[in-house]
Amino acid sequence: MRPPDSWAGARVTLALTLVTAAAWIFGVLLGFQDWAIGWGAFVPGRFGFDGAAASAAPVWLTPLTATLLHANFVHIAFNLLMLVFCGRSTENVLGPVGLTILYLIGAYVAAAAQFLVDPLSMMPMIGASGAISAVLGAYAMLFGRNKVRIANARVAVWLNALWLMAAWVGLQLIVGLVVPGLGIAIAAHIGGFLLGVALANPLLLLRYRKA
């Protein structure tokens, strides 16, 4: 399948991009980036017995608030570039409701994956890359080309999706090297990506169930 190139059907993608960019820009201009990260980052250890700090967002909300927080320009620019590139085509196929479901659930599944790997960690997890990983996973299933010489086309698509996931995680690691002090939540990226892979066809069926 050739990725569609219409922006008319990518309003949710554009809205997510603009809101995420605006949140970072306002945080930088008004000087409350550090406060915002302390308030809205996803911290696995906050789900323990001590509960949430009084000055922080409710723990159930932090997988979403964390998507609006980024370390610096390189971090947000890379994430939004991937969101725009993959989100437009994915939304054209799945529709605005499908992409919204994918992005929101992706943010929570990414956070859950990171929690399962290191539930006691107090390291703040910020960035939209977990949710974007879900969009990328759906993109891989919808537009992945059968470049692997395997008779079973479905297996070939899955192998291509896994290669794309590996490349995505590798690129995130490179960004982590470029951005001082930025830890990369690999489990969150893998969890989000696999969620996107799993939801691509169900969301496609959801959109066209009455067709």
Q: How does pLDDT run across 2-29, given as a tens digit for each residue? A: 666 677 789 999 999 999 999 999 999 9
Given this model, what pLDDT does residue 171 score?
74
Q: Identify the weakest region by mean pLDDT among 101-110, 114-123, 158-167, 191-200.
A: 158-167
Task: Average the pLDDT over 154-159 and give the result.
Answer: 66
pLDDT at residue 170 greater than cutoff 90: no
Distance CA 102, CA 94 (A): 9
Structure tokens belonging to residue 65: 């608030």
DSSP classification of residue 4: P
**pLDDT digits over 61-106, tens only?**
999 999 999 988 988 998 999 999 999 999 999 999 999 999 999 9
DSSP classification of residue 45: G
Given this model, what pLDDT does residue 7 score?
75
Given this model, what pLDDT does residue 66 score?
96
What pTM, to 2 d.p., does this model score?
A: 0.87
Contact 82, 20 (CB under 8 A): no
Given this model, what pLDDT does residue 67 score?
97
Given this model, what pLDDT does residue 181 score?
63
**pLDDT digits over 112-139, tens only?**
999 999 898 888 999 999 999 999 999 9
Contact 91, 195 (CB under 8 A): no
Given this model, what pLDDT does residue 17 score?
97
Distance CA 179, CA 176 (A): 5
Cβ contacts of 82 within 8 Å, gap of 6 or more:
129, 132, 136, 168
Given this model, what pLDDT does residue 173 score?
74
Contact 66, 40 (CB under 8 A): yes
